[in-house]
Amino acid sequence: MALLEVSDLVVGYDAFPVLHGIDFVVEEGELCVLLGLNGAGKTTAISTIAGLLRPRSGQVRFDGKGLGRKSASARVASGIALSPEGRRVFPRLTVRQNLRLGAWTRRRESKTVKRQLDLVVDYFPQLGEREDQLAGTLSGGEQQMLAVGRALMSRPRLLLIDEASLGLSPTLARTVWEVTSRIKADGTTVLMVEQNAGALPFADRALIMEKGTLVYTGVGDQLREVNLREAYLGA
Ligand SMILES: Nc1ncnc2c1ncn2[C@@H]1O[C@H](COP(=O)(O)OP(=O)(O)OP(=O)(O)O)[C@@H](O)[C@H]1O
Ligand SMILES: [Mg+2]
């Protein structure tokens, strides 16, 4: 059984349909990259999984159970955390306060919170060095790390990351993907939205979305066999 199953998902804004019935799965333990150009519908898809948008029809199943109309916060409690597009950290709170807010659903489990804090700082040592600094004073790359770190604080089984590499230098983008690979290797399943095909080598599964439809799905060695990067950029 897949950890995440999306079936025939239709989502739109008002009268305007954006996702035209998409189907995919993410198996437990995988790093799945959802690739697509500007406006393809990636954020719409990942926001629906996180419970921020309601689908018109179709289903999202997590760990074998339909999520139905479950709220975003209830989804966090059941193991789904989102690092949103555009970083959206709390600029007037410190790095540590931002991270602690990510652990809200586990606020009564002080040992878990402490362990997750140590883990996040281990993944992103810069955040440890800047724990008392206001998040608004961090560099773009550090804010992105904080957004991912904050999502990790709820100790999710499924981590959703929306365009972590946007606006980062190629070196910094690589660093974020490498850490994401480590997070996966340590046991957290990851669904990562990207416009940048540079993320493909890190993927166990790749999905390519065009205008609200999935036009390619591949796993494992299939990803190495075809020149996906060219196919995607040529699309
Ligand atoms: N709040 C909204 N109201 C109306 N239309 C929207 C809204 N948000 C997104 N859209 C439209 O839905 C489509 C898909 O947008 P979405 O943000 O999901 O794409 P994306 O793949 O995440 O793009 P990007 O890579 O630029 O973040 C676009 O045509 C966009 O204009
Ligand atoms: Mg987006």
Cα of 162 vs centre of ligand 2, distance in Å, is 7
112-139 pLDDT, tens digit each: 999 999 999 999 999 999 999 999 999 9
pLDDT of residue 235 exceeding 70: no
Cα of 120 vs centre of ligand 1, distance in Å, is 30
54-113 pLDDT, tens digit each: 999 999 999 999 999 999 999 999 999 999 998 889 999 999 999 999 999 888 989 999
CB-ligand 1 contact for 207 (6 Å cutoff): no
Structure confidence at residue 205 as a pLDDT band (50, 70, 90): very high
CB-ligand 1 contact for 22 (6 Å cutoff): no
* Distance separating the N- and C-terminal Cα atoms of the chain: 32
CB-ligand 1 contact for 41 (6 Å cutoff): yes
Alpha-carbon distance of 109 to 207, in angstroms, equals: 36
What per-residue confidence (pLDDT) applies to 234?
62
Site to substitute for ligand 1 among 9, 11, 13, 162, most atoms within 8 A of C-beta? 13
Ligand 1, atom 30: nearest CA belongs to which residue?
39
Alpha-carbon distance of 81 to 55, in angstroms, equals: 18
pTM greater than 0.85 (yes/no): yes
Cα of 43 vs centre of ligand 2, distance in Å, is 4
Atom of ligand 1 nearest to the CA of 47: 18
Spatial contact of 200 and 206, defined as CB atoms under 8 Å apart: yes
Residue 114: exposed, middle, or buried by beta-carbon count in 10 A (0-12, 13-18, 19+)?
Answer: exposed
CB-ligand 1 contact for 43 (6 Å cutoff): yes
Atom of ligand 1 nearest to the CA of 37: 25
pLDDT of residue 206 exceeding 70: yes
